[in-house]
Every structure is written in C-alpha cells, then in structure tokens.
Structure 1
C-alpha cells in the first residue's frame, strides 16, 4: 500500500518535480496539491493524506500558520516541512509547534524519501546538516530561559515595552510608574540578560517570542 502524500507549495514547477521524484518507484502517491495555505487547509479536510509536504513561504497563509492551524484543529496528518530556509529560527519554530520532519529543498531525492519513510514509522526526521545548528540553538535557548526566569514580572513588562520601541517616559506612563523606576528596571534587565543597550534588549525579547513581529 502506497504512502499518500499531499504537496503544499506555491511553485507549480516545484510541485511537479517533487511529484515525479516521489511517484517514480510506486511506493508513494501524491493525492492532492495546494498552492497556498488556505487551499491547503481546505484540501486536508477532504483528502486525508498520510503526510503533508509543507512549504514555509506561501501566500494567503504561510507554512508556519498552516502548521499552527493543523495542531489547533487536531488534524491527523504527519507534516514534513520542505523549504529553502536553513535559518535555525524557522526550524525551532516548526519543532516547537510539533513538526514531524524538516528538510531543505536542495536535498537529494533519496533523502526526501528516507524522511517520508521515517515519519511514517513514527520517527522525527531533521536533515542531518541542520542538526548541529539546532542543538547549538537549543543550548542557547536554555540559557535564555534562565535569563527570562530571572526577570521579575515588572521587568518583563518593561522589557516588552522597550522591544516595542517605547521611551522611558512612555513606559512610565503606560505602566503607571516613575521614570526613575523605569531606569532602574532597565538597568537590572540589562544585567540579568547580559546586554548593553536597548537594541540588544529588543532583539533578545523578539528572539525569545516575548513580543510578536506580526
């Protein structure tokens, strides 16, 4: 019995190429295709594939949003992200949400099929070349968690306002505290998260999902 796969990618040529690669030996069949995130969600509810090959960059609803929606709706499908993005932040986001696999579009066809078969067996597959960067970032994130946990509730509120681009006076008004208190909090924040200026503090907040970019 062949593995039923759905392709979600906004590039027609990419979908055609992947389809030919996957269906060559008859063990995998592509049963549906979508060229944007909304279409992907609609198709998923009607075709019920075993595995969804999901691109990150798609119009209307991107791959990360699709992944979040699938988990929210508790749709039973295994998800393999197939993308041009090798940035570890995309990988971390996908792993956090609960992706089953993550490989690059320039991977060999044999590796793509290996990833699909691993996922079907209940394993998680991360392209080996991405693993060192992932492990390094996970260690770094553990350190970041310790730093975040060292902040008081008020310091977290001040840090988020700093990351939102607010000045001390605006933060004081927003949180109903004095400017002097804001300055003291910011000084403590810088020490606890090991940064030296507001820009670095904002980057720290964004990287650790303390605020949203969208």
Structure 2
C-alpha cells in the first residue's frame, strides 16, 4: 500500500518537483499540498495523510509553529521537517515538538526517501550530516541542565532578579534578607553556572529559559 503524503512548502515549484519525484515510485502517493501552515492544517484534516513533508520557513504560520499546534491538538501525524539551514537549534526545537524526521533541502533526494521509509517504520530520522552537531549540542545542553539543577530555590530566585537588572540592595529588600547573604548567594551562583559577572549570569538565565525579558 502506498504511503500517503502531504507536502507543505511556500514555493510551488518545490512542491511540484517533490511530487513528481515521489510519484515516480509507486510506494508514494501525494494526496495534498499546502503553501503555509494554516493551509497545511486544513489539508491534513481533509486528506488524512500518513506523512507530512513540511518546510520550516513558511509565511503566515511557519513549520515549527504548525508542528507545535499539531501536537497540542493531538494531531499525531508523522512529520518530516525540511530546511535550507543546518542550524542545530532549529533541529532541537523540531525534535522537542516531536517531529519524526529532519532533512536538509540541499540533500540528495535519496536522503528524503530514506527519511520517509524510516519514519514510516516508526523510527526517528535525522540528516546524517547533522548528527555530530546534534550530539555535541545535546551534550552541552545536558551540562547546562546539570548546572541549573544544582541551584537551590533561593539561588534561582536571585538569578532571575539579577537577569531583571536588580542590584544587591534591591534584591535584599525584595527577599527580606541581608545584602551580605545576597552576595554569598551570588558567589555560589557564579561558581555553579561557571560565569564571572552579573552580565554573563543574566545571559545564562535568558538563554536557558530561566527568565524571559519582555
């Protein structure tokens, strides 16, 4: 039985090219196309595909946002993300949103076919050229998670306030503790997250989602 596929990409020529290549093989059947995330959600609901091949960078609603909505709404279709950019942060975010495959657009068509076949077997497929970067990035993320986990509840509170630009005196007043205690906590925080000043601590907090600056 053929694998039913929806292609979501804002470039019509890309969609048509992929469709022609895929349908040269009777194992694949393109049942729908979409030019942005909103159209993709609509097409998926109407065609009930096995796999969605979706570009990350689309107008109106991009691929990552579309994937996130699908998972939030329990649309558990298998999704292969495709992109021009070998940015590991995109890859990690896509995996966090439970994509099933990740392929670069400048790869050989055989790579996409490998991805489709792997995903159809309920395997996760990541472009081979990205696996080294992915493993390295995940290792760094594990180290940072370990650093964050080492912080006490009070240290996390103070780190958030540092990131918000508060001075020691203001932190002490807000938490009803002495400035000396604040300084001791900050010294411990710097050691645990391996930074040497307040600016670096604030950047660490923002980059790792400990605090959001609006």
TM class, shorter-length: 0.7 to 0.9
Cα RMSD, aligned residues only? 2.5
**TM-score when normalising by structure 1:** 0.87
Residue correspondence of structure 1 range 121-132 to structure 2 within 5 A: 121-132=121-132
Equivalent residue, structure 2, for 1:120: 120
Check conservation: 2:7, 2:15, Cα contact below 8 A. yes
Equivalent residue, structure 2, for 1:25: 25
Residue 167 of structure 2 is aligned to residue 168 of structure 1: yes
Residue 194 of structure 2 is aligned to residue 204 of structure 1: no
Q: CA deviation at 1:101?
A: 0.7
Q: Output one character per residue of 1:165-204: Cα deviation in whole Å (capped at 9) or x when no partner.
A: 5232796399444683555443332211001233433332
Q: What is the rounded CA distance, in whole Å, between the counterparts of 1:66 and 1:189 in structure 2? A: 38
Residue correspondence of structure 1 range 73-152 to structure 2 within 5 A: 73-152=73-152
Bigger mean CA offset, 26-35 vs 111-120: 26-35
Cα 1:148–1:49 change in 2 (3 A) is same
Structure 1 gaps of 5+ residues are none
Q: CA deviation at 1:115?
A: 0.6
Bigger mean CA offset, 71-80 vs 201-210: 201-210
Check conservation: 1:172, 1:179, Cα contact below 8 A. no
Q: Output one character per residue of 1:105-126: Cα deviation in whole Å (capped at 9) or x when no partner.
A: 1110011011101100111111
Equivalent residue, structure 2, for 1:10: 10
- The count of residues paired between Structure 1 and Structure 2 equals 213
Check conservation: 1:9, 1:36, Cα contact below 8 A. yes
Cα 1:188–1:173 change in 2 (3 A) is closer
Bigger mean CA offset, 124-133 vs 188-197: 188-197
Cα 1:47–1:146 change in 2 (3 A) is same
Q: What is the rounded CA distance, in whole Å, between the counterparts of 1:212 and 1:20 in structure 2? A: 45
Bigger mean CA offset, 32-41 vs 196-205: 196-205
What secondary structure, in the 3-state scheme, does the structure 2 residue paired with 1:76 have? coil
Q: CA deviation at 1:5?
A: 0.9
What secondary structure, in the 3-state scheme, does the structure 1 residue paired with 2:145 have? helix
Cα 1:205–1:61 change in 2 (3 A) is farther
Q: What is the rounded CA distance, in whole Å, between the counterparts of 2:14 and 2:133 in structure 1? A: 26
- Structure showing greater Rg: 2
**TM-score when normalising by structure 2:** 0.87
Q: CA deviation at 1:102?
A: 0.7
Q: What is the rounded CA distance, in whole Å, between the counterparts of 2:12 and 2:169 in structure 1? A: 49
